[in-house]
Chain A
Amino acid sequence: MSIDALATLSNRTAVDFDTDATIDEARRQLEICNACRYCEGYCSVFPAMTLHRAFSDGEITQLANLCHNCRGCYYACQYTAPHEFDHNLPRALAEVRVESWERFIWPRGVATLFQKSGVALAGALAAGIVVILVMAYALRPESGEGFYAVISHTVMATLFTLTSFLPLAIISVGVWRYWRHVGGDRVTLKHLSDALVDAGRLKNLSGGAAEGCNYEKEDRYTMARRWAHQAVMWGFVLCFAATVSGTVLHYGFGIEAPYGPLTLPKIFGIPGGILMTIGGIGLIGLKLRAEKSLGAPAVWGGEMAFVLLLTATAATGLALYGATGTAGVRPLLIAHLGAVFALYLTLPYTKMVHVPFRFAALVRDAQTRKA
């Protein structure tokens, strides 16, 4: 199915935020910032903002996805409540951001369910485990070594190919619609490399000249969120590399799991899993301490469930390795695959979409940045 065809599946091809109260509130606040500009050193949102005098819906959506919710601008703001300007830019942008994801991703409404409700996501996890359990017993292979004594490799591969293709296709369409909405230009290698560097360093959580963000200790700066996120992000990249290398070993060389400690899947997977688990636990702790009203409070539960799911996926993967050769393999494999299954299937509808959307926003920012 082509991207265009998928896009027309959606009931709304052109997204129109005109009457949207969330966008209007963000616009009101951005206009105050644009007259003030005290915060221009914190992140890329402010330099991008000052390129405009009036803000179209697309520009606001772009700024919202560029915002890293570091909260520096909130604690520095002379106009926060009880001031009558009632300024809270991190929240206004967080709400636009989540709404933009919900609207760009097909089908609408599903995202609302998972973004807003941790219970729904926990339900997905439970369902994932049940599915894997049923598979494991119904399709128990006649023969097979190691992991594949629990579930045959073909079943596993088919299942994951299916469940990963659809979410990725849906997300691609969503991002493509985002790109059109924010007026993105032709992407060059330079734009991509700029965006990759910004994302890789998570530059916008550095606070500019400050030492980090104001996420969990009110107006004090810390690097904790940046480091925790780096751990999750790079851990995820490593785990992904582990999966790819495993696939190559399996199909290219006929070497089947479980892999020994000095094979690529393990060399990538173990540090990756450890980083993701530690980082995930870090993010959970930070999220519990941070002030909810400076993000989008309506999706706090869904976000928390997402981080938990991500962390659980990594942790069960690690535990599975640790349990090699013990009776723990069977339940851990089922739990791990269930988590992976739930994570993948809900991919377009959870906070996971922040990855492509924010990356697109960084690419767009690289395009508009002043020389």
Chain B
Amino acid sequence: MANAAYKWTLTLSAALTLALLYFIATERQMPWPDSLSGIGADQWQSVKTVFVSLFLEALPFVLLGVLVSTVLHLFVPETALARLIPRNPLLGVLCAGLLGVVLPVCECGMIPVVRRLLRKGMPAYIGMTYILAAPIVNPVTVLATYSAFRTAPEMALYRTVLGFAAAAAVGLLLSRARGKSSNPLKPDAPSLHAAAADHNHHAPHRAPSSRLLSYCSHAADEFFEMGKFLMLGAFLTAVIQTFVSRGELIELGGGAFGSHLFMMGFAYVISLCSTSDAFVAASFSGVFPAGALLAFLVYGPMVDFKNTLMLLSAFKARFVLRLLVLVTAVVLAASLLAGWLLESAAR
């Protein structure tokens, strides 16, 4: 049922995308609401610029993730993984978080890899902890945060610690899911080459060239599966960035609680890479307290608009929704606590 609804959503979004692109191409005025009639060609150009830049930026990482996932699929036996994973949830979550430090992969590239690992029998909560923690705790992000907050170097440390703690907390909460909800993956799209690949896999006498071919077409399959969502995510993010103004949003973020919620919402809709969002956060340092900036810095890499769409390519919608709620609650609580501690330390 949910799957059908989701398919329709995708079709609808595709139709909408088509319509919007048509207007971009013909540089016409939109035929509906008056409020939109003021949109000029230059704004559509802005949409295009941001759309293309997001797509080109994510492309290498998605491709890398797809290639790694394909290697895992074709060359790593199912049993190899099970021996490596700690049985104890707490230990597992900590390992997954630490893995994020040594294996720095961008958000876009992780989803296909983790999906593959989950299919190989890795527990979902461990995979999700890695997806949440890795973009924040990897050295590249820490360095970028440090250089964005040149006069407040402690921000980089707080961000890393808070990110790790929040990811571990969400992972532990997820580890309690049992039974029906313990398999969050969407049913595998019927892959043209799954059978062929398996065949090659178990038939080493085949020529290596055909193995390479099946590797390539498998990678292509997976690239298109992920790419659909990347396209949609990049496009909608570009539209949001072009038409939603920061000034209007700031009006919403009053009070301590409001500023945290606002910064999280803002991080969600602008969908930046974790290596570049620190500079955007720094541009808010006069406007909001440090706790709210931390909320932005921790929440954005974990979940945002683009990455929610990409998660939907691999996971059931219900699971993604639950993950969103969990991450929001945990990050909000953690950043409020951190903000309060910082305030009282300053006094």
A joins B in a complex: no
A residues at B contact (CB < 8 Å): none
B residues at A contact (CB < 8 Å): none
